[in-house]
Amino acid sequence: MSFRILYKHRLTPDTTLMRVEAPMVARAARPGQFVIVRVGEQGERVPLTIADFSADEGWVAIVTQTVGATTMRLNSLEAGDSLADFVGPLGRPSEFVDEDVSDRRFLFVAGGVGAAPVYPQARWLHERGAKVDVIIGARSRDLIIFEREMRAVADEVYLATDDGSAGWHGLVTGLLSDLVRVRGKVYDEVVTIGPMVMMKFVAKETLGLGLKTVASLNSLMVDGTGMCGACRVTVGGQTVFACVDGPEFDAHVVDFDEAIRRSTMYRPQEERAYHKCKIGLNGE
């Protein structure tokens, strides 16, 4: 069985959104979960957090940033091409999926491609009567993704850019502090998805503010089943696996320093594979 790419859109020079025909996955998907993708029969297993889904139309959206050989191959595919495997949904859904959220106020803090998995969460909450604000952070305006989609489901969307080209000039943590400490915004819960370093400092800021905070450790995952151990991390003094026990955890008890070290373990191998794949795709 193959899984056809119905739609492809390039969000940034190295980031692509695809809608993949996968009716069974779409019917079962919930916010916070992920899928395992393989480009070809001999390809590497790639875990990708679900960025959107339609049970009625039978598709699931994924967002892929080119960071290695496999993601380069994936982003080189076009609408009409097919994937060998598209397995899921996997992982635990966001805990609010089974809760009454109609009178609750959420703030999402998304960094880079982390905006993609935030979208189905924000939409889910909006459809069930919750109040939702979203911060989207990036290095510059041209790297902001999902802004239009987020504005359709959020009460307020705030941008933060390192270079000041859009919105708040500075880090998302500065904007978060300003919203709560200066503007008097009140939230019941914060959800953060993005680079590990960003989430570490978001958690540090919200701990000082006394705000419950959930972080997604999806970027640690490799094989998506817990067998490889690559996503092993300490949460609340206990060893957990992001792919089977998460990927979302209480951000205030995550050992982010350990998670940061683990997330860079395979960077040299990824870089070598990336350059080899680039030469192959360019025919050099």
Identify the CATH number of the domain in which residue 240 sits. Answer: 3.40.50.80
Same-domain status, 85 and 108: no
Same-domain status, 121 and 82: no
The total number of residues shown for the chain amounts to: 284
Give me the average pLDDT of each 10-residue run along the chain (284 residues): 89 92 95 90 83 95 87 90 90 90 95 93 95 96 94 96 94 96 96 93 95 88 65 85 83 89 59 46 53
Whole-number pLDDT of residue 43: 74
β-pair partners for 142: none
Same-domain status, 108 and 25: no
Same-domain status, 149 and 199: yes
Alpha-carbon dihedral 269, 274, 280, 284, rounded to 10 degrees: -110
Whole-number pLDDT of residue 222: 67
Same-domain status, 40 and 102: no
List the domain range (segments joined by +) for residue 197.
95-263
Same-domain status, 108 and 28: no
Same-domain status, 141 and 55: no
Strands 168-169 and 156-161 come out as parallel
- Kindly report the CATH number assigned to the domain that includes residue 16: 2.40.30.10
Whole-number pLDDT of residue 221: 65
Whole-number pLDDT of residue 1: 64
Q: Nearest 5 degrees, angle CA 120-CA 116-CA 152? A: 55
Looking at 44, 68, 90, the residue that finishes a domain is: 90
In a domain, 277, yes or no: no
Whole-number pLDDT of residue 277: 45
Same-domain status, 114 and 12: no
281: its two tokens? 């795709």
Same-domain status, 77 and 169: no
Whole-number pLDDT of residue 229: 66
In a domain, 269, yes or no: no
In a domain, 42, yes or no: yes
Whole-number pLDDT of residue 25: 95
Whole-number pLDDT of residue 232: 80
Same-domain status, 117 and 251: yes
Nearest residue to 255 (alpha-carbon basis) of 223, 217, 208: 217
Report the predicted TM-score, pTM, of the whole model to 2 decimal places. Answer: 0.86
Whole-number pLDDT of residue 118: 95
Same-domain status, 197 and 113: yes
Q: What is the DSSP-derived secondary structure letter of residue 252?
A: G
Number of domains, the chain: 2
User: For residues 45 and 48, what is the distance between their CA atoms, to the nearest angstrom?
Assistant: 10
Whole-number pLDDT of residue 3: 92
Whole-number pLDDT of residue 122: 96
Same-domain status, 253 and 127: yes
In a domain, 279, yes or no: no
